[in-house]
Chain A
Amino acid sequence: MISARHVTVRAGQRTLLDAVSLDMVPGKVLAVIGPNGAGKSTLLGALAGTLRPASGQVNVDGRALGDWRPVALARRRAVVGQSASLAFPMDAAEVVGLGRLPWHGTPGAARDHAAVAAALSATQATHLAGQAYATLSGGERQRVQIARALAQLDGADQPAALLLDEPTASLDVRHVASLLRLVRRLAQGGLAVLVVLHDLNEAAFVADRVAILVEGRLVASGLPRDVLDPVSVAQIYGIEFRKLADGSLLPRFSDVCVW
């Protein structure tokens, strides 16, 4: 539903994103991976409409991103950024309630309360509702922010898109596992999901398709088992990987020199 065609983003003389094309498909998880500075967050920004491409085009439902009214777009795609801090104290339910802002003045506003409750329940954050957001742990905040995004998309009459920027960063292993399973479940529910990840095994677990960015260019895109082989990822990251019996990739830390 969101598609990028030859999207190039520049900042001054630097090319952050170089003619990248990809598609987000309802019901599917697309994982974007790549080394630091590869342009993953830039790609997410271009797809979300926060960054304007120097050339190329981003379409939502075949319509150019720039032709969408921001509020209409907000009812179809939600974004969870890397770390959202609040300017002033709010409780978790209020933060999730912010997701209902684009529905103000529409018939969908009747669902505000139900949407917040459903989103909190989907992320198993209902018990956090009355707590101050600032007092939550990193994992709890992540769940509340995803709940906010789900509340935002509640009531969309056509397939909606969810973009997640490194949602597993700063989560412990168990929280990573629950978050990835939640992402899978959301895709099964019909959302088109794009998730930026650092960990190859997380990508292999969660994604229907994997896209690899290196220095702003899309160097590989396809099924996880085709894209994530030890030889090509070793080239990309400059570190050897060993393939374990269950198919997961283990980096060999000891071979790499210290900065």
Chain B
Amino acid sequence: MSASLTLSTTRRARRLAVVPLGALALAGAMLAGILFGPAHVSLAGLLATLADALGLAPLPAEFARDAAVLGVVRLPRVLMAAIVGAGLGVAGAAMQGLFRNPLADPGLIGVSAGAGLAAVVAIVLGGSLFGAAAGLLGLWLLPLAAFVGGLAATLLMARLGSVGGVTSVATLLLAGVAVNALAGALTGMMIFMADDRQVRDITFWTLGSLAGSRWAQVPVVAVLVGLPTLALCALARPLNALMLGEAEAFHLGTRVEAVKRLAVVLAAIAVAAGVAFTGLIGFLGLVVPHLVRLGFGSDHRLVLPGAALLGGALLVLADLAARSLAAPAELPVGVVTALLGAPFFLWLLRRRGGTR
């Protein structure tokens, strides 16, 4: 066997490390996210709390404060960040693969704009529009509206982007631009109608935050983000085929239309369910897949799980930064991800400009 083929094979073997390395990064980030923050928790405190929760040993009195911080605030928050970040990362990787475009992100399929518009409508008109239902839903009204709005915008866009049962990626992209603009205009109109308190709520929602994380949200997000994330990872082979082009993917036995629809819907669910609780979090879905590709190559069998693990890790760390940098106040986490993501995006543009 030639040296060149062996080189390619050993490179592939080394790239498989993305999954254990990603898992390690996620575990490390979660541990840091759990222990550090405005109120530090000791490792002993974490272990004692876990032992107590599992019924292994009663909680020593000196760790009562640690246990309270962990149980009420830290654990649900870190879990939410990990799951939501994983959803954003994998959805970004899938959309870049589907659109064959390194600058694609989940925002392109209208999900963020739709979720944002619905969230703003819920904030401004929630009380008057839904009346008694709003009272009944309470804290769930906003996430529910955002989730439904995100999915609806994506379905509308997929509908607009397909002609005669064939989805043209170029039309889909343009429809996404139009839907984004429309949602932006309607959001602006809502803001115009809103009072000062509502404007403040809207601003914070659109910048994203994990401060509202509750245990009750964790299982909902685990299912609604977790399942699409796993399902998207299973689309790795068809997305690999699409790297050559749509006709070529069909020649390789891919049901291209089915894959396109499935990938768009799964990505929309994964993103909408996440941002429904956290608000909009930018740049993560764009940047994370590129970080994985830079280190481990373009094979979607590695990029998709790698982007999920790294996306989770980075959002946990971004949230840690958001609550630590200006403590006791909190920065919106979307500000942190954009602060780090935007320069990376620019660097990527320059780099592409250099090689073409």
Contacts and interface: CB of A to CB of B under 8 A. Distances in A.
A129 B8 contact: yes
Contacts of B8: 91-94, 129-130
B84 to A, nearest CB: 25
A105 to B, nearest CB: 10
B5 A98 contact: no
B144 interface: no
Contacts of B3: 130
Contact of B251 (A74, A87, A116, A127): A74
Most chain A CB neighbours (cut-off 10 Å) among B96, B240, B244: B244
A143 interface: no
B255 interface: yes
A102 B252 contact: yes
Contacts of A102: 252-253
Contacts of A85: 245
A86 B243 contact: yes
Interface string A91-123: 111110011011010000000010011001000
A117 B254 CA distance: 23
A66 interface: no
A50 B247 contact: yes
A130 B254 CA distance: 26
Interface in B320-344: none
B164 to A, nearest CB: 11
A90 B2 contact: no
A74 B252 contact: yes
A90 B252 CA distance: 17
Contact of A50 (B9, B96, B251): B251
Contacts of B77: none
Contact of A70 (B2, B6, B237, B255): B255
B298 A70 contact: no
A127 B4 contact: yes
Interface residues of A, number: 44
Interface in B296-310: 297-299
Contacts of B244: 84, 86, 95, 98
B56 interface: no
Nearest to B303: A88
Interface string B10-22: 0110000000000
Interface stretch (B97-105, B129-137, B268-276): B97-105
**Contact size class for B?**
35 or more
A56 interface: no
A73 interface: yes
Most chain B CB neighbours (cut-off 10 Å) among A72, A85, A98: A98
Contacts of A72: 253
A213 interface: no
A68 to B, nearest CB: 10
Contact of A88 (B237, B243, B254): B243
A99 B97 contact: no
Interface in A147-172: 152
A131 B7 CA distance: 9
A144 B169 CA distance: 27
A132 to B, nearest CB: 10
A81 interface: yes
Contacts of A77: 251
A84 B245 contact: yes
Nearest to A126: B2
Nearest to B10: A130
Given A88-B243, A98-B241, A131 B253 contact: no
Contact of B245 (A81, A88, A92, A99): A81
A89 B247 contact: no
A187 interface: no
A87 B242 contact: yes
Given A89-B298, A94-B299, A101-B241, A70 B254 contact: yes
Given A86-B244, A88-B298, A98-B244, A130 B7 contact: yes
A127 B2 contact: yes
Given A113-B9, A126-B4, A130-B7, 8 more contacts: A50-B250, A69-B253, A71-B253, A73-B253, A74-B253, A101-B241, A101-B252, A102-B252
15 contacts: A49-B250, A74-B251, A81-B247, A84-B248, A86-B243, A87-B96, A89-B298, A93-B5, A98-B240, A98-B244, A101-B241, A101-B252, A101-B254, A130-B5, A131-B4
